[in-house]
Every structure is written in structure tokens, then in C-alpha cells.
Structure 1
Amino acid sequence: MATPQELNQLRDGPRTPREQIWFDRYAHHRLEAWRRVQDPLADRCLENIAFQRPSGLLDEVERRAAEEGGVYQAFLDHCHTVPGWVDFERMELGRRMYRRHGALQGLVLMCSSLVEGYAHNKPSQVLVATGRLQKDVSRRIYETGQMLHNIAATDGLRPGGLGHRTLMEVRLLHAAVRRFLSESGRWDSDRFDLPINQEDMAGTVLEFDYMVVRGLRRMGLYISHQEHEAMHYFWRYAGYLLGVDEALLTATVEEQKVLALQLTSHLYDPTEDSEKLAKSLLAGMAGKPPFHLSY
């Protein structure tokens, strides 16, 4: 849940001309438009590939790229082309911070970030429609933990790195889920907009970045502004690899805070489904490693 200070800032609105630009950039009507945009590069790849494990999806895309080129090669080219704003040395401090505090990061994700995300009713309907979280809680959480471990490895986000490949696999998995929901008839686009859309994807980046830093600080961990900037920069590139449009990848931690405020105020709508998802997560992980916490 947003802190009292964040809610006050949202109520008071922009305090500087720069904040005015950000509040306008992420105004609700603009965020609403992003709910009709998904990830065309990844989605085109999955139009004719049968659902399988994430690593298998990427293997198949690479095989077809070598044989056919086309949309498959376009996806690989996008993932392996490093944007001009990326400086791997600059994000090294952020990588080390996530590596150093991996256990606490996992605790914050499980008990704060993910639970808060479930209160965003429209995005959380993907979990409801697929039934993945309720059926296999611990496996999904451990898979997420493995992803975080991989991207925080040495050179993990560099093209060819383990984390880089893992994020490509996750991106294709999201495309497979979108296709499944589209073909299954289980998704109501009139009520929930397009599944795993750009606003939802940007919100996921916030869960792993902005909300984690906020949670770590709430637990008493000191994180300097320089360290926070590096952690944000690290996830800015991770978000790019996951298919988030660069227009939704904030350039500073101050801009990211405004996006978080606007996105939360746009989507926060806890329902019975939100409660069920949160309880399923906490019950499914109770007593299990690495935390062995009671329900």
C-alpha cells in the first residue's frame, strides 16, 4: 500500500515544473491508452508456436530465426541490440545491491510487493484466469526467485548472459499466456482491457524495483540515493528486455515515483480476488524455505 507521504504527494500534485511534466506523461488517460498495447514483437513469435516451458519457447524462436528469419529474427535482434542509454558499468552497483540483499528482497516481494500488486484488480485477473498462482504457489515463487538470481549474476544482463536469456524466456512466456487467454475465451477485454498490457508490464517493473527499495527501507536497511539510482537503472534495462515500451521506462528515481503514484491511483481496486490471491500466496509459502515464516 502507498505510504502516507506518497498519498499526500498524490493529493497535492506536482510541486515543480519537472514533476508537472511527469504527472502529465503518466496521467490516467495516457495510462489507459497503454492498456490497449501489448508486446507485438513477442506476440508475433508465439502465433504459431505451441505452448511449452519458457526455455523451450526461446529455443524454438532461435531455431526458426536461423531457418526463416522474419519475426523471429526481429525479436532476437531487439533483445540483443543494446539501447544507447545503457551503460553496464553504471548499473553494476545496482546489480551488486540486488545480489547483496537477495534474501531480504525476496521477503519484501512475497509479503509486500506482490500482495500490493494483487490489489490492482485488472492486472491480477491474469492470475485468476490462468489459475497458476492458486494451483502452484511455491513453484511460481521459486521460479521468480531463480529469475532474480540469474539477472543479478555477474554480467547477468549483458547479451548472452544467463539473466539476459532468462528475461527473454519470461517475455515469450508472457506472450504465450496472452495467446492462451485470447484463445480460451476466459478473458473479458471489455472489463479488464488486454491481458499483460504495457501498463501492467510497467507495474511489474515497479514491483521488483520501486516497491522493493521502499520495502527494504521500511525494514531499516540504509540505501543511499546513489544506490537507489543504480538499482533503478538496473531494472530500467531489465524492463526493456521484458518488452516494456521505452516511453514507460522512467529515467530517474524521482520520475519513477510519479509513475508509481499515478499507476497505483489508476489501478488500485482490491476485490475478493485480490484477497484470495494474497491468502493463497502467504498460505502456500508458510513454513517453506528460505524464510520458514508462519502464515
Structure 2
Amino acid sequence: MAIPNPFRRHDENTRQAWGYTFQWTPEHPTREEMHPMKYSYDIVGEEALNRLDIISPPLSAELPRNQNRGPSQIGVTKPKRDLYALLKEHHAEDEKLGELWNEVNTVPEWVDWEQISRGQEVFYRYGGVALTALAFQSLLGGMGAGRVTEVLARTGGFSTKVARHRLYETTQHILQVTQSLDSIKPGGVGHASSIRVRLLHAAVRRRITKLAAEKPSYYSIEELGIPINDLDCIATIGTFSATLIWLGFPRQGIWIRDQEVQDYIALWRLVAYYMGTPTEPFETPAKAKRMMESLLVTEITPTATSKVLANNIILSLKGQAPTYASRDFLNANARWLNGNELADALGLGRPGLYYYALVVGQCIFFFENKTHGLGEETVFDFKYVPSFSLTTEEGVYEESATKQTGIEKRNFRTLVAASAALAVISYLGMRTTWGIVGGLRNWWGV
């Protein structure tokens, strides 16, 4: 939760957006300056995808999920199409494939591998804090971006049944790009997964654009922009980097050093390059911070769809391994990291003070400590295909009287231990203070 700072400067340049206060400068990107990026996108990636579809046509599994299968398809499991593997195999045969392959395998001159390695270390140094912020702020809070949720809802990928899997896929990608220095270099697992996500984005963009051309009421490009456009991709990279540094970490009691900030931003600038995202906003930490602030002001506009997707994320995590967290504790986390204003706009529940106390215990645990998942490694295949009949519906909460388990029990024990330690320190401090006072009284003969 945002804590007011009485020492913060307030003048005509002070801006406040969703519990975050900052100073607007002439260098901040304006709404008008960012607007054209809603209609530009990764052309190189999409042209390569078109050629890959000719070489290896999409499988029938890439048809709408609600489409009936014929008798010959029942019980037949077809292999997943790995677009990165296809690109690697055929890049020398086609000009467009070669263009993409050469781009993603050419290391930009601004890359300092030692700095990239340090950036990866930052993630693991604050791993628990980072993953919590990514789940409850970057992803769940990101549902406040009304334009983006219109694309996500049309994929059906954030229904309650599959939202958790999408969370795991996102986490897998983050872990792969931070795994090791070799993982982020060309040919590494993080490098490959970034390209797979890039081609997946191209597939979703192309599909929604095609449906919009057939039925303009399905999706308005004029109003919402090209699906998964440059501005959306910049915002996504920002939520994984700048948002963590200047929102997610501080709201959990962590402020990282300037060198760590530089290193972490540099890491995600490289990931942006691999994914076909403009890298200019991440050239320096100052630029990344200003872009984050401009996007908070202009792009976080929660809609009814935002509420559906945000609550589906909460529902998908409720009572699930490895945390076994309750709905109230999940909502408390979301409110702590996003603030009540945004949480109310997303329609999140208001838990009691007890659950906020558990979040405090969690922050203390992270401060003191600086076998579940996907089931298999994903190749980011085109699983949730936009169609006219496909959207994302809000899930239904089923309350259960379960006892405190998992992460909540850990946080409660941490809070109790920290409170006891604080009480002892306070008691000893008072005794020391009174001892000093007594000594002074004796010295003065009072």
C-alpha cells in the first residue's frame, strides 16, 4: 500500500497515478507522443511467421478451442509446433526467416555481458520479492490497462481454468532469461523462449487483426490500436523491470542500489531486443522510469473486462500449490502492492486487517531472507486462439472453511517472531534509557 511521504516535493509538476506520486518533466513521454506506437508493431516477426506457416502449416489444434473435431481427430494427439525450432532449421532457406534469425543472433553493441550477468543476479537476490510483485502487481495490476485486456480476453487465456497455467508460462520465461549468462546469449534457453514468445505475439496479432477485418465490431483497431503493438510490448517489458524497481520492491520494503538498478534494466533491454520491442525506452534507468510513469498516467484505465481478468487470476491461485493461499490473503497482497484505488477499480475484495498483517509478516520474511508448475516446459504454442465466439468469462468464487495453511502460516509465525523481537528490543531500550537517566540523576545529585 502506498505510504504518503511528508517530505516529498509537491508543486505544479507533481503528478499522482494510482497511489504513486512523481514529478513530471519535459522528458516524460506524453500521450500524444506515445499514440503512434499503438499502430506500429513487430513487422519482422510477423513476416517470418507467415513464411513459417507456409513451411509448416498450423495444426488443427490452432483452430478455435470450441470447434468440434471430426471422428478421425478423436483421441489423436498431435505434436506441438515449435516455431523457434522451425526458424532455426529453415532460416537459411528464406529471406524473411534469415532476416529475423540474423537480427536475434546479432548481439547489440551496447550489450555488456558482465552487466547482464549482474542483472540476472539481482532477480535471484530478491527472488521472493520479485515473484510476488510480478504476480500481484505486474500481471494482476497490469489488468488495469484496459486496451490490453481487450486482447487478452479474446484469447480466452485468462479464464479461471487456464489463468494459472498462463502465470506459470510467464514465470517460466522470466526464469529462463535469468537462469544463467549462457541462457540469455544466442542459442540459450532464455534467448529461444523470448523468440518463441515473439512469434506467439505475432500469431495472436495476426489472428485478431484478421477477425477485426471480417467483423469490425469484434475489435476496433482504430480505437484500441493494433493488437500487441509497440506500446503494449514496451509496457510489458516495463512491468517486468521498471515497475518492480520503483513500485513492487519499495512497497515490500526493498530499495535496491543504483548499480543494481542499472544492471537489471540492462538485462530487460536485451530481452526487449530479442522480442522485437523498441529498446530506446530502456537505454537508461531514468528513461525506463519516465516511461513507466507516463504509462501509469495514460494507459491504466480499468474496464469491466479488467475486473473479470483480475478476479480470475485471484480465483486461479486460491488454495493452490505451492502457497495454498486464501482468497482474502491473495486480495490483501494485491491491495498492498497496487493500492486501494486501483484494487477497487479492479473489483478486488476487501480483506480484514488480519490478512494485511500477514502481508506485513511476508515482507519481514523477505527482508530477512533476501514441485509445482507447468508439468512440462512450454514452447509457447498458439493454444488460446481468438475467435468470434471465444472470450473470457468471470469465474465464480466458492468459499471454503479451510484452516490457515502454507504461506499464511509462515507469514503469521514470522510476524509473531518479529513482533516479539521488537517488544524485547523496545523493553531493553527502555531499560537502557532509564538506566542512563538514573545515572545522570545520580551524577547531578538529584
TM-score by length of 2: 0.60
> Would you say the 8 A contact 2:105–2:186 is kept in 1?
yes
1:173 maps to a residue whose letter is L
Structure with the larger helix share: 1
Corresponding residue number in structure 1 for 2:38:
35
> Would you say the 8 A contact 2:164–2:316 is kept in 1?
yes
Structure 2 residue 165 is matched with structure 1 residue 139: yes
Ranges in structure 1 where 5+ consecutive residues have no aligned partner = 15-19
Structure 2 residue 320 is matched with structure 1 residue 288: yes
> Looking at both structures, which has the greater relative contact order when contacts are Cα pairs under 8 Å and sequence separation is at least 6?
1
1:131-180 deviation digits (Å, cap 9, x = unpaired): 11115111110111111111111122111111111101111110011111
Instruction: Give the CA deviation at 1:101.
Output: 2.8
Corresponding residue number in structure 1 for 2:271:
238
- Distance, in Å, in 2 between the alignment partners of 1:209 and 1:54 is 31
Ranges in structure 2 where 5+ consecutive residues have no aligned partner = 9-13, 63-78, 213-217, 328-446
Corresponding residue number in structure 2 for 1:208:
240
1:160-218 deviation digits (Å, cap 9, x = unpaired): 11111110111111001111112233432122110000000000011111112221221
- Aligned 1:73-88 pairs, distance under 5 A: 73-88=98-113
> Sequence identity of aligned pairs in percent?
26
- Distance, in Å, in 2 between the alignment partners of 1:12 and 1:96 is 30
> Would you say the 8 A contact 1:55–1:169 is kept in 2?
no
Structure 2 residue 13 is matched with structure 1 residue 13: no
> Would you say the 8 A contact 1:47–1:179 is kept in 2?
no
- Aligned 1:1-295 pairs, distance under 5 A: 7-8=15-16, 12-14=23-25, 20=26, 22-23=27-28, 26-48=29-51, 49=53, 50-51=57-58, 56-66=82-92, 68-134=93-159, 135-155=161-181, 156-185=183-212, 186-213=218-245, 214-247=247-280, 249-295=281-327
Corresponding residue number in structure 2 for 1:17:
none
Instruction: Give the CA deviation at 1:286.
Output: 1.4
- Distance, in Å, in 2 between the alignment partners of 1:224 and 1:285 is 32
> Would you say the 8 A contact 1:99–1:149 is kept in 2?
no
SS at match of 2:15: helix
> Would you say the 8 A contact 1:105–1:216 is kept in 2?
yes
Count of residues paired in the alignment: 285
The structure-2 alpha-carbon separation of the partners of 1:184 and 1:267, relative to structure 1 and needing over 3 Å to count, comes to same
1:191 maps to a residue whose letter is E
- Distance, in Å, in 1 between the alignment partners of 2:179 and 2:220 is 39
1:242 maps to a residue whose letter is M
> Would you say the 8 A contact 2:49–2:199 is kept in 1?
yes
> Would you say the 8 A contact 1:10–1:261 is kept in 2?
no
SS at match of 1:194: coil
> Would you say the 8 A contact 2:149–2:306 is kept in 1?
yes
> Would you say the 8 A contact 1:94–1:234 is kept in 2?
yes
SS at match of 1:91: helix
The structure-2 alpha-carbon separation of the partners of 1:54 and 1:220, relative to structure 1 and needing over 3 Å to count, comes to farther
- Which has the higher Rg, Structure 1 or Structure 2? 2
Corresponding residue number in structure 1 for 2:432:
none
SS at match of 1:38: coil
> Would you say the 8 A contact 1:44–1:71 is kept in 2?
yes
The structure-2 alpha-carbon separation of the partners of 1:79 and 1:201, relative to structure 1 and needing over 3 Å to count, comes to same
* Alignment root-mean-square deviation, CA: 2.3
Instruction: Give the CA deviation at 1:10.
Output: 7.1
TM-score by length of 1: 0.89
1:64 maps to a residue whose letter is H
1:22-74 deviation digits (Å, cap 9, x = unpaired): 22xx22112100111010010101224144698611122223313x2210010
Corresponding residue number in structure 1 for 2:411:
none
